[in-house]
Amino acid sequence: MLSSAFIVVVALGTLSLVSAAGAPSNGWNDNIQWVSVSDATATAEQTGKPIMTVIHKSWCGACKALKPKFAESNEIQELSSQFVMVNAMDDEEPKGAQYRPVRLPPCC
């Protein structure tokens, strides 16, 4: 059984570029190794990494504002290697209780 946590970021993308891993970056940083929703669980089991899913909508203004900041962030790009990165746009959003956002406990 997979014990990896799913981390969900809600955001937007309209461009369907393909990252180094073969899954679309949708303009969220072509240098991140994106994995498809359907391949994420198997990849997480193989690597032992948690899954981070960026869920975005093509019509969302807040998502449009976040996308370039996310894509340009060197810190996010570096940290992405610690996760199985999934980019889910519009109807690609995964369904089910296991995909609910993880609420982290307050710090300190």
CATH assignment at residue 81: 3.40.30.10
- Asked if residue 88 has pLDDT above 80, the reply is yes
| Tally of structural domains, the chain | 1
**104 part of a folded domain:** no
Mean per-residue pLDDT for 20-42?
86
In whole angstroms, what is the distance from residue 44 CA to residue 1 CA?
11
Range of the domain at 36: 6-94
Of 40, 37, 41, 35, nearest to 20 by C-alpha is: 35
- Asked if residue 20 has pLDDT above 70, the reply is no
Of 63, 103, 53, 105, nearest to 83 by C-alpha is: 53
Q: How high is the mean pLDDT of the chain?
A: 81
- Asked if residue 100 has pLDDT above 80, the reply is no
Facing residues of 11 across strands? 56
- Asked if residue 84 has pLDDT above 80, the reply is yes
